[in-house]
Amino acid sequence: MTDAFLLGSLCGVIALRLAVIVSYCWRTDKPFTSSHVKVLQYSGQTNTEKKKRHEEFFETTTRQFNTLLIAGSISLAAWSQLFTNSTNGAGQQLTSLTRNLLLLSSVVLLSAPLIFRRPAKEFQFICRESLTAVGLALLILSLASALADLFCDIGFVVSPLIAVAVFVADLEESVRVFKMY
């Protein structure tokens, strides 16, 4: 039952993030070629405000790359440790779902900045942001799965609550992004 909550939450987060990307493509004239500079130039903003938002965009992009690479590296290191200890110790108590979620989180987090590496393109920014959300959701869900594996009594109660909280948090964030674009 816990696995169903975890996988259901993951599917929900992926569906929401795909909806964000499709919604952006639908609402934008040229989603694959527009840079953030062009999108920010709409009436009601002074040149100073436009420049400030443009600088914030590039700062956010830099943080995005750092977050993806650091979180992906940490999850890959954790998966490597669990994989080598999967036959003895605490690693033996973890299910393959826990290890697979952790490995998948590292793959998503590390591949996002490689696939979508052009910082000035808004479409790529949104894709990186979506993959960040999916990768971090995978990481949190793998920890929730580990909680259920190691602490059966309390884990089976807390793990589904964590899965629901991950989905609700991403739903809230996705609604905010829908309103922005």
Q: What pLDDT digit, counting tens, does each position of 53-100 carry?
A: 767 777 777 788 888 889 999 999 988 888 887 777 767 788 889 999
Q: What is the DSSP letter of 35?
A: B
Structure confidence at residue 40 (pLDDT): 45
Task: Say how many domains are in the chain.
Answer: 1
CB 142 within 8 A of CB 3: no
Q: Regarding predicted confidence, which is higher, 23 or 34? A: 23
CB 64 within 8 A of CB 85: no
Structure confidence at residue 120 (pLDDT): 65
Which residue type, as a one-letter code, is found at position 27? R
Residue 154 has pLDDT above 60, yes or no: yes
Assign 2 to helix, strand or coil: helix
Structure confidence at residue 45 (pLDDT): 67
Which of 73, 88, 79, 53 lies closest to 145 in space, CA to CA? Answer: 79
Structure confidence at residue 1 (pLDDT): 72
Residue 166 has pLDDT above 70, yes or no: yes
Q: What is 133-149 written as a DSSP string?
A: HHHHHHHHHHHHHHHHH
Which of 94, 107, 96, 134 lies closest to 9 in space, CA to CA? Answer: 134
Mean pLDDT of the residues in the chain = 84
Range of the domain at 105: 2-180
- By percentage, how much of the chain surpasses pLDDT 70? 87
Q: Regarding predicted confidence, which is higher, 123 or 180? A: 123
46 phi and psi angles, rounded to 5 deg: -80, 165
